[in-house]
Chain A
Amino acid sequence: MVKNKLNNKGVTTIEVLISFVLIAIIANSLYSTISAYNDRRIIENYKSEVLTYKNTITKTIQDDFIKIGLSSVNYNKTYEDYSTIYQVDCSLKDGTARRLIITQKYTKSDTHPNGDPHNDDYFMIEYGQPDLTKTNADDQNAKLIEYPIPDIGSYAAKFENEKTGKNAMDLVISNVLIDLGNNSSTKNNNVLSIYIGFYHPELSTRYSINIVSPINYIQSSTRG
C-alpha cells in the first residue's frame, strides 16, 4: 500500500502575492532590456540602409574617377521653386562626361520654416552620362540614374495654421559641400571634393557621402 501524504491546503494569499510581485519585477526588467535591444536593432537597420546607399553611390562615382580618370570639373548651384540644386559636370579622360545632380527640397515644417508649403520633402541624387547632343537640360539628364534616398521613416509636418501636414522624411540631405581645392593654401583647382551629409533623428549627422579625387592627375613617369 502506497501511503501518500499530500499537502492539499493550496497556496496562501501571501504566497500568491509574493509570486506576482517577483514575476512583475522580472518581467519589467526583461521588458526594458529587450526593448533597448529592439531599439538598437532598428537603429542598426537604419545604419545598414544608409551605408548601402552611401557605398553604392561612392563606388559608382569613384570607379569612374579611378578607372578612367577625371580631367576637368564644372560646378554650379541653383535655387528653383524652394529647391537647391547642385550640379557637378565632370569630363573624364576618355572624352566622356559624367553629371552629378543633388536636389534638396524641404517641406515647410518647424525645423525648416522656409521650406515649400505645398510639397513633400524631396531629396534626390542623380548620376550618369548626360546626353550633351541635346540642348535642353531635361533631355540631357534623361538617362541619368536616379538614386532616391532610403525611406527610413517620415512624419506629417504641420506649420502654423496649415490644415494638412506635408510628408517630412526622417532621413534628409542636410549639408552639401563642393570644393575644387581653390579654398586651400595652394589655391590650385586640382582636387574635387564632394560632401553630401545626411541627417536622421536617430543617427544625427554621422553618415555622409565623401567623394575626393585629384583633377587631371598624371603620375610622373620619370624620377625627379
Chain B
Amino acid sequence: MKEITRLNNHGFVLAETLIVSVFLVAIFTMIYVNFYPIIGEYEKRENYDDIDGEYAAYWIKKLIEDPNFNISQQEKESLNGEKQYFRFKCSDFLENSPQESLCINLVKSLEIDCDDNDDNGSNCQIYVTNYRIGSGDGTVPNSFKKTVSNAPKSEFSNDFKEYINYLPDYKNTSIDGAKYRVIIVTHHTKGYNDYVTYSNIEVKREW
C-alpha cells in the first residue's frame, strides 16, 4: 500500500498566534518581575557593612570595651530580658571624663545617626545586643531579631529592620569569646551626601 502524506500548509491561524504570544508575554513578565527585585536588593546591600561602617563600629566597640564604660541596672535588664538590647550612651562614661569627651567627639566625627538636638551622644542609633541576635530554630525565646521585627516603625525604620533580617543569627559562639555585638547606623552628610549605612561588630566585654 502506498503512503499518502498530506501536509497542512495553511500555517498558523490568528488565534493560535495570539495564544502563543500571550503565553510568551506572561512568561517573560513573570521572569522580569522576579528578577528585578534582586537588583534592588543588591543596591541595598551596598550600604551594609561597608569599610567606613566597619571602622566606625570598631571604634565604638573600643569605647564599649573600655572598663570605664559601665551600664546601668536598667540597661542590663533590657539586654538580658525581652528586648535583648540597650542603646549606647556617652553618658555611661563618668561625667566630664576624657572618655566621655572622646566619645562625644567620636560619635560626631563618625556621623552616627543621632537625634537632631543631641549634642552629647546620648540618643544615637548605637545598639548593644547579645552576640547571638536570632532565635534560629526557635530554641531561644527572645532575640533582637524578634524585637526589631515586632517593633513599630516609630522605633525602628523599615531599612533597619531589613538590615537586621539580612544578618545571620550568629548561632555559633565567637572564636574570640565575644558575648555581645554592637550595631550602628551611620548617616553620611559630609560633601552634600545624604545616605544611611548599617554595620555591626562583635564586642568582647564582661558585665
A residues engaging B (CB < 8 A)? 1-7, 54-55, 58-59, 62, 66, 174-175, 177, 179, 181, 184-186, 188, 190-191, 193, 195, 197, 205-206, 208, 210, 212-214, 217, 219-224
Instruction: Indicate which residue in A55, A177, A224 contacts B97 across the interface (CB closer than 8 Å).
Output: A224
Sampled A-B contacts (6; CB under 8 Å): A175-B190, A179-B109, A185-B120, A186-B105, A195-B190, A205-B193
- Inter-subunit contact A2/B4 (CB<8 Å): yes
Within the complex, the shortest CB–CB distance from A34 to chain B, in Å, comes to: 14
Which residues of A have CB within 8 Å of B51?
Answer: 54-55, 58-59
B residues engaging A (CB < 8 A)? 2-7, 9, 51-52, 55-56, 58-59, 62, 65-68, 70, 93-94, 97-99, 101-102, 104-106, 108-110, 119-120, 190-193, 195
Within the complex, the shortest CB–CB distance from B23 to chain A, in Å, comes to: 16
A197–B190 alpha-carbon span in the complex (Å): 8
A62–B56 alpha-carbon span in the complex (Å): 11
A208–B51 alpha-carbon span in the complex (Å): 11
Within the complex, the shortest CB–CB distance from A163 to chain B, in Å, comes to: 34
- Inter-subunit contact A208/B94 (CB<8 Å): no
A191–B65 alpha-carbon span in the complex (Å): 18
Instruction: Indicate which residue in B2, B3, B65, B191 contacts A197 across the interface (CB closer than 8 Å).
Output: B191
Instruction: Indicate which residue in B7, B59, B99 contacts A5 across the interface (CB closer than 8 Å).
Output: B7
Instruction: Indicate which residue in A4, A58, A188, A220 contacts B105 across the interface (CB closer than 8 Å).
Output: A188
Within the complex, the shortest CB–CB distance from B25 to chain A, in Å, comes to: 12
Instruction: Indicate which residue in B3, B56, B65, B70 contacts A219 across the interface (CB closer than 8 Å).
Output: B65
Instruction: Indicate which residue in A54, A190, A205 contacts B191 across the interface (CB closer than 8 Å).
Output: A205
The number of inter-chain residue pairs (CB within 8 angstroms) is 103
A208–B53 alpha-carbon span in the complex (Å): 13
- Inter-subunit contact B59/A175 (CB<8 Å): no
- The chain B residue with its CB closest to the CB of A59 is B51
Which residues of B have CB within 8 Å of A177?
Answer: 190-191
Which residues of A have CB within 8 Å of B59?
Answer: 212-214
- Inter-subunit contact A220/B104 (CB<8 Å): no
- Inter-subunit contact B67/A220 (CB<8 Å): yes
A190–B93 alpha-carbon span in the complex (Å): 16
- Inter-subunit contact A186/B110 (CB<8 Å): no
- Inter-subunit contact B55/A62 (CB<8 Å): yes
Within the complex, the shortest CB–CB distance from B187 to chain A, in Å, comes to: 13
Within the complex, the shortest CB–CB distance from B191 to chain A, in Å, comes to: 3
- The chain A residue with its CB closest to the CB of B106 is A191
Within the complex, the shortest CB–CB distance from A82 to chain B, in Å, comes to: 22
A188–B90 alpha-carbon span in the complex (Å): 15
Which residues of A have CB within 8 Å of B195?
Answer: 206
Given A188-B105, A206-B193, A220-B99, also A212-B110 (CB < 8 A) = yes
Which residues of B have CB within 8 Å of A197?
Answer: 190-191, 193
- Inter-subunit contact B5/A2 (CB<8 Å): yes
- Inter-subunit contact A212/B68 (CB<8 Å): no
Which residues of A have CB within 8 Å of B191?
Answer: 174-175, 177, 195, 197, 205, 208
Within the complex, the shortest CB–CB distance from A24 to chain B, in Å, comes to: 16
Which residues of A have CB within 8 Å of B97?
Answer: 224
A212–B53 alpha-carbon span in the complex (Å): 11
Which residues of B have CB within 8 Å of A217?
Answer: 62, 102
Within the complex, the shortest CB–CB distance from A66 to chain B, in Å, comes to: 7
Within the complex, the shortest CB–CB distance from A204 to chain B, in Å, comes to: 9
Closest 5 CB pairs of A and B: A197-B191, A193-B109, A224-B68, A7-B9, A191-B105
